[in-house]
Structure 1
Amino acid sequence: MEEDLYARVVDDFVEAANTVDPERRTTLLSRALSADVVFWNPLGRGVGREAVNDFITEVVHGHPEGPGRLIRTTDVDAPGEWARFGWRYESPTGEPILSGTDVVHLTPNGDIDQIIIFAGTLT
């Protein structure tokens, strides 16, 4: 049952990353993330939903090839309060640009309060 909840929350986050409508994105981020979420990404660390929103706006939607699309590529693996999932970022034409794994921590009421993005493959 936990994995279903975690998959729903992760999918809300992924949908928020793909949504260009700012109001819809805010709604999805509010459903998926705690207000004080800690967001670790390849560009640094941010705190709060606004930091996640800024990353989506600047990096995901601000890509030089145009707004890309984030796709969850694996099931959500959820041992306890932590979960991980694989993803792929595609160009507007569907070409793969980057892939990786996100690790998220969920609160008892099902909000993501920590996100760690691992972009690229380990060698």
Structure 2
Amino acid sequence: MKVVAAYLLAVLGGNSSPSSDDLVSILESVGAESDVKRINLFLSEVKGKDITELIASGREKFASVPTGGAVSAVAVAAPGGGAGAAPAAEEPKKEEKVEEKEESDDDMGFSLFD
């Protein structure tokens, strides 16, 4: 990620095709270690490509990645609460199971606070 960040900083700074030395100097200016092999690999992958197209392509790829959590819809009421106000979305209630733990001999009859 630090190589990508250095590349983006160089491009935003006006250098449309930064070299390996440019990226190394950016990384060293902030005290980060640089791996020239990785930098060269990255530069070979982005050579001749437009940065805005690369970012757009990356966004499309990330859009299809599952995030791992449930998404809840949130309705926002219009200011003033007039006739155009949307009703608040109700979240489904989660039933919590409370399992009673049977007393076991895990502590071998001893308790920390007895």
Which interval holds the TM-score relative to the shorter structure?
A: 0.3 to 0.5
Tell me which of the two structures has the higher relative contact order, counting C-alpha pairs closer than 8 angstroms and 6 or more residues apart: 1
TM-score, L = length of structure 1: 0.31
Higher helix share: 2
